[in-house]
Amino acid sequence: MINREIAKIFYEISQRLETEETSFKSQAYQKAALSLEALSEDVKDTYKRQGINGLKEIPNIGESMAEKIVEYLKTGKIKENQRLKKKMPVNIEELISVEGIGPKMVRDLYRHLKIKNLIDLEKAAKAGKIRSLPNFGLKTEQNILQSIEFLKRSKGRFLLGEILPKVYEIIDALKKVKKAKQIFEAGSIRRRKETIGDVDILITVDETKNPAFAKASADKMIDYFVSLPGVVKIWGKGSTKASIRLKEGFDVDLRVLPEKQFGSALQYFTGSKEHNIILRKIAMNQGLKLNEYGLFRGKKMIAGRNEKEIYAALKMDYIEPELRENKGEIEVALRQIQNKPNQTHDKPNGLPKIIGYSDILGDLHIHSNYNGGENSILEIAEAAINIGYQYIGIADHTKFLRIEHGLDEKQLTIQREEIDKINKKLQASGFKFYILQGCEANIMPDGSIDIKDEALSRLDYVIAGVHHQMKMPKEKMTKRIIKAINNPNVDIISHPTGRILKRRDEYEVDFNEILKATKKTGTILEINANPYRLDLNDSYIKKAKEFGVKMVINTDAHRKEQLNFMKYGISQARRGWAERKDIINCWPAEEMKNFLKDSKSRA
């Protein structure tokens, strides 16, 4: 969608303006960008239909923003951005991707040292030139170097959350060509890995008696694929496959296949490579041969049309794509069948029945406009009802986080009154839907909570998380979090390891000790579904599950559209082998609330 391109430029303008003093204008661009991202209609269509007045009806888009959108639609550029770039020719997006560097620092680095990009920045830091700048210091210089190392490690991989919406767009576009029968994503995208190297897509064309027709269909699909809008490079183009780069910077591989081998190709190209290597060995041990063309006994193909028949022929449970990482799934899938030879393959029994994408009944970590979020509690509730949820929890920041407009004890009381009112109204109109009041309190460096226990105890539940001073020795951080876990008012620990993908590592903490403390007190660990966090990650989820610790998948939404992040959290939970019993927001409201209550008495 063109909306995202324009939003990206608006963000850039906003950041560039922030290097100057006009923060009010900068905010206007940021708000406009957020609104554009949230739209379901392409602004190109809005403009065609209703002209500039249609654009002005979009929230946060006034006369001047609307003109800029029209300018981009007509010229593919926005002059304001060119003007700002000329004034300060730096790669601002790249520089502020360094943890701890904001627009104002970018300005100072450019003024004093002419730093324009990451390479300049690294050179200057290594030469010790940054420590002597006003407001920087030795510690900042060291942090910059550390952060650059981190960025280098994650280079070339993209967030699942950045890519998946685009993959759906491509698949929808390909579906428009009538020659395609089945279209599937494969590779790490299908396994829903948190970061993606490149996108793999498979297509089958109509299998007819006429091979010439099939070939013509394949050619047509491939031609269509390489000429999709946004293709900036064609790496290769043959009769059954093609590879392109999109302007967003990532690559897409397409393969066209006959239907009878679709299952084996899907299995092969879904990977992971490690999973496939073991699977091929298992086939060999059974006197079979497995490759992308099928599963064979001698020359005879015994399976290949779909994946399920391949796993079944290998005498194992079907393995969901999210589990295919060779992290024990193959052994478990084989073991059960061998122990119970009469078991059918339809019902998985050895592998857990991992949670499904529609198993979530509510979201317990949502920020409202009370702490500077975009939407009112009522707007959030309406969005949640539309999703089909049975409950939500409003969990705004508390007072320590002043930049996030954290609430104090009094504001929480006012919020409670509003929530009670909305709940009454909803129930009076026959909705079976409840809003709980929580909060996301701060775990201070000494492990205390930044708000009075008495105020916490009046909430339906309390989330606590670390939001500052993350560079602590491991023992100290572990003690800090465990103290919060032991607070009888604390029910949930948010984003427990503090990592931001492509930005910073998790803080140092002894996860086993955290598990012990949460188990003892019945405290719940969050799986934060924000695509930049996905925290807990898959291996921690698996550990927590094995330990018997309960988890909750939360979006941490700061505006209602972000409620859609839930799917990324579910993917992560599936990759961590989590079942419905492990995830409290898969449970009906009463059961979930009782668990929260019990955990209080246990602490």
What does the binding site for ligand DGT look like in residue numbers (CB under 6 A)?
A: 187-188, 193, 196-198, 200, 268-269, 271-273, 276-277
Q: Are 36 and 43 in contact (CB under 8 A)?
A: yes
- How many Cβ atoms sit within 10 Å of the Cβ of residue 469? 13
Q: Find the helix or strand (DSSP H, E) in which 27 lies.
A: helix 23-38
Sequence-distant contacts of 84-88: CB under 8 A, at least 24 apart: 84/13, 84/16, 84/17, 85/16, 88/16, 88/19
Measured CA to CA in angstroms, residue 300 lies from 288, 294, 295, 490 at distances of: 10, 10, 8, 61
Residue whose CB is nearest to Ca ion in the complex, by number: 187
Which of ligand DGT, Ca ion, none is residue 54 near (CB under 5 to 8 Å by kind)?
none
Taking the complex as a whole, how short is the minimal distance between the CB of residue 315 and ligand DGT, in angstroms?
20
How do beta strands 180-186 and 231-237 pair? unpaired
Alpha helices in 444-537 (DSSP H): 453-457, 474-486, 511-521
Which of Ca ion, ligand DGT, none is residue 138 near (CB under 5 to 8 Å by kind)?
none
Which of Ca ion, ligand DGT, none is residue 250 near (CB under 5 to 8 Å by kind)?
none
- Of 276 and 562, the one with the shorter C-beta distance to ligand DGT is 276
Which of ligand DGT, Ca ion, none is residue 447 near (CB under 5 to 8 Å by kind)?
none
Which of ligand DGT, Ca ion, none is residue 272 near (CB under 5 to 8 Å by kind)?
ligand DGT
- Of 269 and 507, the one with the shorter C-beta distance to Ca ion is 269
- Of 27 and 272, the one with the shorter C-beta distance to ligand DGT is 272
Q: Are 264 and 270 in contact (CB under 8 A)?
A: no
364 closest CA partner among 196, 566, 178: 566
Taking the complex as a whole, how short is the minimal distance between the CB of residue 185 and ligand DGT, in angstroms?
10
- How many Cβ atoms sit within 10 Å of the Cβ of residue 100? 14
The label of the residue with tokens 């104090």 reads: 408
Give the full edge-to-edge strand order of the sheet including 294-297: 289-291, 294-297, 300-303
Taking the complex as a whole, how short is the minimal distance between the CB of residue 280 and ligand DGT, in angstroms?
7
Residue whose CB is nearest to ligand DGT in the complex, by number: 271
| 447 contacts Ca ion (rule: CB under 5 A) | no
357 closest CA partner among 592, 582, 589, 567: 567
- Of 82 and 539, the one with the shorter C-beta distance to ligand DGT is 539
Contacts of 30 (CB under 8 A, 6+ apart): 10, 11, 14
| 253 contacts Ca ion (rule: CB under 5 A) | yes
Which of Ca ion, ligand DGT, none is residue 277 near (CB under 5 to 8 Å by kind)?
ligand DGT
Q: Distance between CA atoms of 160 and 389, rounded to whole angstroms?
A: 24
Which residues within the stretch 507-546 sit at the binding site for Ca ion (CB under 5 A)? none
Taking the complex as a whole, how short is the minimal distance between the CB of residue 223 and ligand DGT, in angstroms?
23
Taking the complex as a whole, how short is the minimal distance between the CB of residue 298 and ligand DGT, in angstroms?
22
Site string for Ca ion, 180-209 (x = CB under 5 A): -------xx---------x-x---------
- Of 156 and 388, the one with the shorter C-beta distance to ligand DGT is 156
- Of 291 and 448, the one with the shorter C-beta distance to ligand DGT is 291
| 325 contacts Ca ion (rule: CB under 5 A) | no
How many binding residues for Ca ion (CB under 5 A)?
5
The label of the residue with tokens 């409670």 reads: 416
Q: Distance between CA atoms of 2 and 8, rounded to whole angstroms?
A: 10
- Of 187 and 406, the one with the shorter C-beta distance to ligand DGT is 187
Q: Distance between CA atoms of 583 and 603, rounded to whole angstroms?
A: 20
- Of 339 and 539, the one with the shorter C-beta distance to ligand DGT is 539
- Of 198 and 491, the one with the shorter C-beta distance to Ca ion is 198
Residues making up the chain, counted from first to last: 603
Which of ligand DGT, Ca ion, none is residue 526 near (CB under 5 to 8 Å by kind)?
none
Residues lying near Ca ion in the complex (CB under 5 A) = 187-188, 198, 200, 253
